[in-house]
Chain A
Amino acid sequence: MRPALAYLARRATGLAAVVGVSSALLGALLLFAPGSPVAEQGLAAWLGGFWRGVFAGDLGPSYRGIPVLDLVGRGAATTLPIVGFALLLSLTGALGIVLGLGDRVAALSRPLRLGLHGLSLVPVFLLGYVALVVFGVPPDGPRRWWAAVFILAVGDGTLSDVILGLDAERRRLVEQDFVHSMRLRGLPLVRRLAPHLALPLAQLLAARLVFLLSGVLVLEMVLGIQGLGLMGYRAAVKADFTLLVAIAVGLTGLVAAVQLGVDALRVAVDPRVRKDSRQTARGSV
């Protein structure tokens, strides 16, 4: 097998193991919750049934009477676009600020950092509250959806983290010898620098995803958006542990899938991985 494919296969196996062990760990926790399906059936039987149900597309009914996987699918169809657009918005804003201001970002570093930190300090639940109480965002419709996207892109430190991470990467890159050489020769920089920025940017966004998923869960509850967050919270309150575990494992799977995407990008842009995946994989873990 080619080294790159072998590397991706190893990473996929590792990430699948993380998702599988996550479900086992959640099941083990539920042993301590009387009335949970794990406490009634035992961990091994429940775990086997859970994964059989996942692959068969049937985890039984939720507390609302609707099949669990249907609910998770509906929730994901609401939550994931919000998270995706929020990432896109914060990335676009960060690129605009970092590339637009260029070296001036460093000069503005202190006030910019303070200002962005100040903005990002506001928790998403408070921004959602402000949207409801101050601006009277209606309980449904596109205004609420876009409010959620904007709040998620800005709050909980997302925008400032992406800007600062991107700027640090840009500054590291422009000090490289090959960039000095390209500048001296008058070659266009953007096209050659893009692949060098792609991987750190993807890593940055993948790292932010876990925080964004936490943020969107709170935000959905505040704004009353019927996504995975609201469903998971209600499942916890109603002690619907199958739905709760399905949502938690689904989110873990999403994080793992995005991480695998980052690994695939690493293979695409880093020739060292293509040449000797084993060595690079060890170095990157």
Chain B
Amino acid sequence: MRWSAAGVGGGSVLFAVLALRVWAVFIDPDPWPSDGAMGGPSSAHWLGTDAVGRDLFLRVVESTEAFVGPGLVACAVALLLGTLAGAAVGYVPDHPVSKVLRGVLTLLSAWPRLVLVVVLLAVFLAGVSDPSAWAPARVYVLGALVGLSFVPQVAGVLSERVAHFRRARFVDAARAHGLTDVAILGRHILWANCRQLLLRQACSVFGAFLLVETSLSYLGDYGVPEPRPSWGNILADMRSAVVRSGGIAGDSGWVEAARSGGLLGVVVPSLAIVATIAGALALAEYFAQRDAEA
């Protein structure tokens, strides 16, 4: 297998994120240091402490819990439902089920993705008897809903590809050899000719999930609830601590923010979000290149 710069870079970033996720398993979930709130960086606390005295570095590492597993749930939902719908619409476009599916996909794609996710999440939380009991699992529900919101995109690109191969000569040959439609579709079209496309979509969904999770966690109500950390809610915590002197770029803002430890609390989660999304998209680009070469 030939790796490009995008593949190596994206793969490395996602591998590092997975390694942090494994490390997070061994972290004491509630480290309350005695050094006080908004402490600057030190040998004990590499990034300093937050507004209530928690170690920022450990919270940044622990935050991987908030999106790695749920992000994979989002990928699984998007790929599973998107593949089923896209394969049906592309392979048997005139079947009544395909027509209904096309209508449902058109409806889902007409809604802005975040609106769809927030509406579904609001209905879900209104429907459960004790929303606080669902707090730990809420981010996995969010993953499933984000995955659902990507089904039209995955199904759309896949159905075009399947429709393209449906009339290919190798499909006629396979049919002449007595292969069933399921075998032709599964093995010869989806596996042999669409897997790079699906991997590309999976990487895009993972990056998009991180974006939605951190956005909602930053806003508070539907993301990862405190005290569990997320890069989004760390940024929200730091915001009030750092906005002084008209922002970091204001008079003595950098100095004040650096002294208080707030600067690293803003910069590190921000860079982590951008780097992880970049990694996911670089890997998507790598799969796109492989797809084009195939």
Task: Check B115–A29 contact: CB distance below 8 A.
Answer: no
Select B123's contact among A32, A117, A133, A221, beta carbons within 8 Å: A32
B residues bordering A, Cβ < 8 Å?
103, 106-107, 109-115, 118-124, 126-127, 211, 214-215, 218-219, 221-222, 232, 235, 238-239, 242-243, 245-250, 253, 266, 270, 273-274, 277-278, 281
With the chains together, A217 CA to B124 CA distance in Å? Answer: 20
Report A-chain residues with C-beta under 8 Å of the C-beta of B122: 33, 236-237, 239, 241, 244
B123 and A33 contact, CB distance less than 8 A: yes
Which one of B109, B124, B126, B273 has the highest number of Cβ atoms from chain A below 10 Å of its Cβ? B126
Complex: A12 Cα to B218 Cα, angstroms = 39
Of the candidates B106, B215, B247, the one having the most CB atoms from chain A within 10 angstroms of its own CB is: B215
Measured CA separation A137–B238 after assembly (Å):
16
A129 pairs with B218, CB closer than 8 A = yes
CB contacts (< 8 Å) of B211 on chain A: these are 123, 125, 156
**Beta-carbon contact of A135 and B249 below 8 Å:** yes
CB pair B239 A237 closer than 8 Å: no
Of B127, B215, B273, B277, the residue contacting A218 (CB under 8 A) is: B215
Contacting pair B123 A29 (CB below 8 A): yes
Given that A121-B281, A236-B118, A248-B119 are contacting pairs, would A136 and B247 also be in contact in the complex, using a CB cutoff of 8 Å? yes
A35 touches B126 (CB 8 A): yes
CB-contact partner of B111 in A134, A237, A252, under 8 A: A252
Instruction: Determine whether the beta carbon of A126 is less than 8 Å from that of B247.
Output: no
Interface string of A239-281 (1 = CB under 8 A from B): 1010010011001100110000000000000000000000000
Residue of A nearest to B232 (CB): A125
| Interface membership of A91, Cβ < 8 A | no
Q: Are B239 and A133 in contact (CB under 8 A)?
A: yes
Q: How many residues of A contact B (CB 8 A)?
A: 50
Complex interface: chain A residues within 8 A of B113 (CB)? 210-211, 214
Inside 8 A of B103's CB, which chain A residues have their CB? 21
Q: Name A52-94 residues within 8 Å CB distance of B.
A: none
In the complex, how many angstroms separate the beta carbon of A223 from the nearest chain B beta carbon?
12
Contacts of A218 in B (CB 8 A): 114, 215, 219
Alpha-carbon distance between A123 and B217 when the two chains are bound, in angstroms: 14
**Contact across chains for A18 and B270 when beta carbons are under 8 A apart:** no
Minimal beta-carbon separation of A193 from chain B (angstroms): 27
Whole-angstrom CA separation of A126 from B56 in the bound complex: 19
Complex partner residue of B219 from A35, A117, A221, A241, CB under 8 angstroms? A221
Residue of B nearest to A237 (CB): B221
Across the interface, name the chain B residue whose C-beta is closest to A36: B126
Asked if A121 contacts B218 (CB within 8 A), the reply is no
What are 6 pairs between A and B in contact, CB < 8 Å?
A: A33-B126, A34-B126, A123-B214, A126-B235, A132-B243, A214-B113
Chain B CB within 10 Å, residue with most, of A130, A133, A221, A222? A133
Our pick among B219, B270, B281 for the contact of A130 (Cβ within 8 Å) is B270
Partner of A134, one of B247, B273, B277: B247
